[in-house]
Structure 1
Amino acid sequence: MTRPISLAPLTVLELDPAEMVECAAQAGFDAVGLRLIRATDAEPLRPTIGMTPLIRETRRRLDDTGLALIDIEVLRLTPQTRIRRDFAAFVETGAYLGASQILVTGNDPDHARLADNLGELADLAADYALAANLEPMPWTDVANLQQGAAIVARCGHPNVGLLVDALHYDRALNTPADLAALPSDWFRYVQICDGVPERPTTVEALRYQGRNARLFPGAGNIDLVGMLRALPRDVPVSVEAPVLWQASALDRSRAALCGAREVLDLADADCRHLA
């Protein structure tokens, strides 16, 4: 079975969105994800909201390459968030580019308020044919799959999904059984990478590994095959694999895609065997 494989922004964070589309196409990806709002102050500040020249050029390259745009990122839901005031222009920009998914992080310890804001974001996104996807991360207020699932269930909105990142899933000691117990329609896409066997023991180390020191799919010890088998068989796969390797963005992208294809071949072969 074939399914779309997308290049995630964190894998080649030095590239702007237009450059990233070109890189993903040259590397052989089917799709791409784009970071329109930076995740840290250390990242370059680029004109990526609204009809800027960079955004228009990115749309042109998407059209020229034929790549799909899976997701745009990253929206943080905080206690101060006001959905339409803060995120309307972001959602409009994503719709102009042709995105279908929004990556959302939970940075609010009040999970009831977080669920309410997630639902309001889902309403706004639905107006533009996008969906909101909550990603559990160990350094946020939604630290694991169980907390994410509880918030999505509490939200109860049909336009909300749960985004599983392989590294965070593994570091939280989640299992394929945990995934299989959840509604399949919650999963709109999945992020994969690999990791070293030793799990970090501090939040700072988890954050550093997540942003800088992952491994390409198949190069570590995360049970990616088991994880993928527990998810819908046609779910798009985004390869989020920032690695400590001084190679070009194109070479890193090609290596990431090669690893992802090998892992997906194993997962899909196992699925055919079980069928």
Structure 2
Amino acid sequence: MSQRIISLAALTVLELSPPEMVEVAARAGYSHVGLRLEPATPQEKHFPLVSDADLRRQTVARLRDTGIQVFDVEILRLKPETRVSDFAAILAVGAEFGASELLVAGNDPDEQRLTENFAALCDLSAQYGLHPHLEFMPWTDARDLVQAMRIVENAGRENGCVLVDAFHFNRSGSRLEDLRRLPASRTHYVQLCDVAGPRPDDMDEILRQARNERRFPGDGDCDLLGLLRNLPADLPLSLEIPTLGLLEQGVSALERAQLAIDKTWALLTHL
């Protein structure tokens, strides 16, 4: 088996500070981590890497000591009022950590403006060596794979990419036949988790599951092998698997990170 990049996503162990997360990733056998430079919601626990220089220094030191690398940084939201130039400080920190990928959400119902802002973000990100990945999520304004592909193609930037997350792929009703049309150059990683049960009718319930109740690969109903077989071979994997129930039961971040990577390696043996 080739040594595929496997990165620990922040949402899997969101209670950890960045230095703690790096330590857990190293102990569990990951090669990379994803750092959350901007919180996804106002409510979530957040460690302000962009504004806290001391925390950045601690994180860089832990990265150096463990050999773990930063793969992606998140999460930038493109909203109607967004001024892309305001993201420069965040992108600079991402580059400082050596990240190559940037996770982006589309939160603007005007698709033309969303596309233009994504193009502008690609232009700004290119100065920092980053590839913006538009992640489709069914409750956002990039709802599914087809729409995300259209926005990225219409933006027309070489470094513009689409991020496929197994949860959102399933819950948005996206199709493998559409995934086959995604050029290999348009995605540099995939977010992996499993999903249990049929797609709820209620979007609030889908959102709750996305943030709190995903499954480890092989523990749900998602056709993860079908998904991976229709993506470039050995595409880096970011394991984004929030499991609030396990956290509340006292299962440690290290144990959860270990379960995630062990079950991922087991899945990959079937490819």
TM range (shorter): over 0.9
Count of aligned pairs between the two proteins = 266
- Aligned-residue Cα RMSD (Å) equals 1.1
Tell me the secondary structure at the aligned position of residue 264 of structure 2: helix
Given that 2:118 and 2:155 are in contact with CA atoms closer than 8 Å, whether structure 1 keeps it comes out as yes
Task: Map 1:2-81; keep pairs closer than 5 Å.
Answer: 2-50=3-51, 52-81=53-82
Q: Which deviates more from structure 2 when the two are superposed, residues 46-55 or residues 26-35? A: 46-55
CA shift digits 1:64-100 (9 cap, x unpaired): 111121100000000111011x211100011111111
Instruction: After TM superposition, give the deviation of residue 45 of structure 1 in Å.
Output: 3.7
Q: Is the counterpart of residue 197 in structure 1 residue 201 in structure 2?
A: no
Could you tell me which residue of structure 2 aligns to residue 215 of structure 1?
215
The alpha carbon displacement at 1:231 in A equals: 0.5
Cα distance in 2 between the residues matched to 1:99 and 1:15:
19
- Structure 2 residue 61 is the aligned partner of structure 1 residue 91: no
Distance 1:17 1:108 in 2: 30
Q: Distance in 2 between matches of 1:16 and 1:116?
A: 34
Instruction: Give the whole-Å Cα distance in 2 for the aligned partners of 1:185 and 1:150.
Output: 15
Partner amino acid, structure 2, of 1:24: A
Letter in 2 for 1:260: T
Structure 1 SS opposite 2:270: helix
Aligned to 1:118, the other structure's residue is in SS state helix
Q: What does residue 104 of structure 1 align with?
A: 104
Seq. identity, %: 48
Say whether residues 1:256 and 2:257 are aligned partners. Answer: no
* In structure 2, distance between residues paired with 1:129 and 1:28: 26
Q: Which runs of 5+ in 1 are unaligned?
A: 268-275
Which residue type is aligned with residue 222 of structure 1? Answer: C
Amino acid corresponding to residue 112 of structure 1 in structure 2? Q
Instruction: Please state how far the C-alpha of 1:50 moved relative to its aligned partner.
Output: 4.4
CA distance in 1, matches of 2:23, 2:3: 22
Q: For the Cα contact (< 8 Å) 1:50–1:90, is it kept in 2?
A: no
AA partner of residue 70 (structure 1): F
Shift of 1:215: 0.3
Query: Given that residues 215 and 241 in structure 1 are in contact (C-alpha distance below 8 angstroms), is that contact kept between their aligned partners in structure 2?
Result: yes
| Partners of 2:173 and 2:124 in 1: CA distance | 33
* SS in structure 2 at match of 1:75: strand
Name which of structure 1's ranges 62-71 and 43-52 shifts more when overlaid on structure 2: 43-52
| Structure 2 CA distance for aligned equivalents of residues 222 and 215 of structure 1 | 10
Q: Gaps (5+ residues) in structure 2?
A: none
Tell me the TM-score normalized by structure 2: 0.95
Q: Distance in 2 between matches of 1:51 and 1:98?
A: 18
Task: Answer yes or no: is the 8 Å Cα contact 1:50–1:89 preserved in 2.
Answer: no
Partner amino acid, structure 2, of 1:170: N
Deviation sequence 1:236-275 (CA, Å, 0-9, x none): 00011111212000000000001111112212xxxxxxxx
Paired AA for residue 124 in structure 1 = L
2:14–2:45 contact (8 Å) kept in structure 1: no
Deviation at 1:46? Answer: 2.6
Tell me, in whole angstroms, the C-alpha distance in 2 between the residues paired with 1:80 and 1:250. Answer: 39
**Do the aligned partners of 2:28 and 2:254 also contact (CA within 8 Å) in 1?**
yes
Return the alpha-carbon distance in structure 2 between the equivalents of residues 83 and 149 of structure 1: 20
| Contact 1:51-1:93 within 8 A present in 2 as well | no
Deviation at 1:35, TM superposition (A): 0.6
Q: 3-state DSSP class of the match of 2:194?
A: coil
